[in-house]
Structures are given as C-alpha cells and as structure tokens.
Amino acid sequence: MTGLHDTTGDGSGPTVVSIDAMGGDRGPAAVVAGISLAADKSPNLRFLLHGPAEELERLVAKRKDLAGRCEIRDAAGIVTMEDKPAQVMRNGKNTSMWSAIDSVRAGEATVCVSCGNTGALMALSMVRLRKLPGVNRPAIAVLWPSRSASGFNVMLDVGADIRADAHDLLQYALMGTSYARNGMGIAHPRVGLLNVGTEEHKGRAELKEAHDLIGAQAEEASFTFVGFVEGGDLPGDVADVIVTDGFTGNVALKTGEGTASLIGDLLKEAFAYSLLSRLASILALSSLKRLRKRIDPRRVNGGVFLGLNGTVVKSHGAADATGVAAAVRLAEQLALSGFSDKLAARVASTAPQAHDAPPDDAENGKTP
C-alpha cells in the first residue's frame, strides 16, 4: 500500500477508511464530496477509494483537500440496488463493494463505508469478513435520535437476521455496549431489552431467558442493565443501547422513520396553509432548521454491521455529501478507538465456549 499507512489505534499516524464509491443513489460524486467534507475536519484521515479508476480520479482531482489522501482501487463492476445478494456473492468479485470489503479483510483498513444495496453488503461482508468467534448472528445497529444526553440511542438488530435466541440477544447487548462506548463515547452504557411491558413476567420465553443472561453479564462487561424497555423508550432516556431481534427492530426502525416523515410533511402543509402561517414559517426558519438537524436521518446515517472480523458502515442509499460525511466520521471514530479489536475481545470473553477464560479488560474504561 503506497502513501497510506494504517497505524490506527496507536495514535501516531493516519486513520484509513475503506470507501465503496459506487452503488449510492447519487453516484460517486456525492461520495467524493462527502469524504472531502469529512477530510476537512480530520487532517489524519486517509481513504482507500474503490470504483472505476478513471471516473474516481477525475472526481478526486477536483478536490484539493483530498490531494495525497486518497488511494484509488480500480473496480469496474457496480452492485445496483436491484441486484440479489446471492447473485452478488457469486458474480460480484469485480465490484467496488467487494473490493472495499476486501481491504478490511486484508487488514488495510479496519472499517469500510458503503451507500450500496444493504442485502448485498451484508451478504458480502458475511462471506468475506466471516463472523467473529463466539458470534452466532451478526447484527445491524443504528443510532436513534433520543432524549438521552448523547442525543442518540443505539438499537440492534434492525434486520441482519429475523431471528434471535436468548444467547444472540446477549451478544447484541455486548456488541451494542461496545459500539456505544467506542463510537459514542459512553463509558458505562445503559442496556435495555425491548419487550411489550416492563414487568419481568411479560413477553416471550426467549426474552425472559435473555433478561437473565444479560443481567448476569452487566458487571463484568461494564454496563448497566435496565431490564425490559418498551417501544416508547427507543427515543427515550431510559437506555443507551436497546436490544431486540432483527424482525422487531426493523419494523420499529421503519415505523419511527415513517412517523417522523409523516409529521414533517404535515408540518410543511400546516405552514403552507395561510399567508400568516407562511410568514410564521419564515420567522421560524432557523428554529425549524435546528429541529431538522437534531432528527436529520442524514446525521444518524450509519447503520453498522457488528459481529464480523472488521466493521462495515452502511450509509443510506440516498445519502448526499452531508450523509456520506457523517458515515465517514463514524467510521473514523470507530477506527480510531480500535473498535473492531475491542468488540472481538469482548465477545470472545463471554462466548459460551470461552466462558471460563479470564475476562479481557482491553475495552473497558478506554473511551475516546
């Protein structure tokens, strides 16, 4: 690898992030604009940029702030939003997505960012990066705008798998804790288990079992277990990490997005209703912008695949430069904190087959 040297974790050199430049709805121009925005704020940030070399070289050349900070890896193929995961796994070797993930596999970067097809990205990540020892089901975690001090809660799984047994839910709790600690700087996260009531006798059998498993790990893994939480706590201030199966998590995520989008549209309608309300909307412009910034999905733009040998950040397909920049900054934060290694250590230390091994304390207390 020329020009870039990944010394992530020891704090002495650049932080390298692997970027899939293709597959987003807005094409590579938005991706390059996004990494340029992120680069402006972080002088140590470097990029491995995957896609058609000629096109990318032209786009990067226009951005002075990217000079000497991007290494382009030629990949002619593009995974489209319509491609089936199985198809991409068979025939996708020449794609930018495959290439971007393989940079993590090869150890050139610890984190990869893509705006592409979620199903294909998850499938490729699974086969190329493989599951971490001790992890049965990897998970996708998202940030949820909330009343918590950090402004966000972590929810997982939001759709990597539609099933999760009690032990999977324990793994999610550990992975989510690690993510909150390293990605969001919350030293001692509060973990909640999503259910239909907060009483201990309620809910499905696997949830009662998971309740006990997670509670038993709280002290060793340095989190506070707040027990069962409800849907209303997702945007609340009760837990920083909310654990659920991928079916429920996916429905909740899309319900929340849909609700926010409906309210946003109704708000616009309300302000367009009369001359007076239009005047009001002009006066309220900066207030409404502040609100939008607070719950802007572009800013909570990193769905993160957890439980693999390396971390993959899925940015929204429709992400613009601001959205890509947010995903890249999250990736940088995770790379800087040595997240991938710490997560692996945490999961291994509590895996059933390693249950008698001494706990690895590498992760605890070392918050960014």
Name the phi and psi angles at 119, rounded to 5: -60, -45
Nearest approach, Cβ of residue 44 and its own copies (Å): 34
For the chain, what percentages of helix, strand and coil (3-state, to nearest 5) are there? 45, 15, 40
Identify the H or E element spanning 199.
none
Residue 18's DSSP bridge partners are 48, 112
Kindly state the smallest distance separating residue 131's Cβ from its own copies, in Å: 21
Side chain identity at residue 152, one-letter code: F
CA 72 to chain centre: 24
199 vs 361 by CB, closer to its own copies: 199
Q: First CA to last CA across the chain, in angstroms?
A: 28
Residue placing its CB nearer to its own copies in the complex, 93 or 254: 254
CB of 36 to its own copies, least distance (A): 30
Site of interaction with its own copies (CB under 8 A) = 145-147, 159, 162-163, 194, 196, 203-204, 230-236, 244, 246-248, 250-263, 265-267, 269-271, 273-274, 276-277, 279-284, 286-288, 290-291, 294-295
By beta-carbon proximity to its own copies, the closer residue of 37 and 253 is 253
Write out the two tokens for 223. Answer: 């989190």
Tell me the closest approach of the beta carbon of residue 59 to its own copies, in angstroms.
32
Residues 6+ apart with CB under 8 A from 42: 15, 329, 332
Min separation Cβ 216 and its own copies, Å: 24
Closest to its own copies by CB, 91 or 274 = 274
Asked if residue 31 lies in contact with residue 96, where contact means CB atoms within 8 angstroms, the answer is no
Residue 239: C-alpha distances to residues 167, 188, 332 (Å): 20, 11, 25
Report in angstroms how near the CB of residue 315 gets to its own copies at its nearest: 18
Q: Which CB, 122 or 335, lies closer to its own copies?
A: 122
Please, are residues 97 and 79 in contact by the beta-carbon 8 Å criterion?
yes
Nearer to its own copies, 256 or 307 (CB): 256
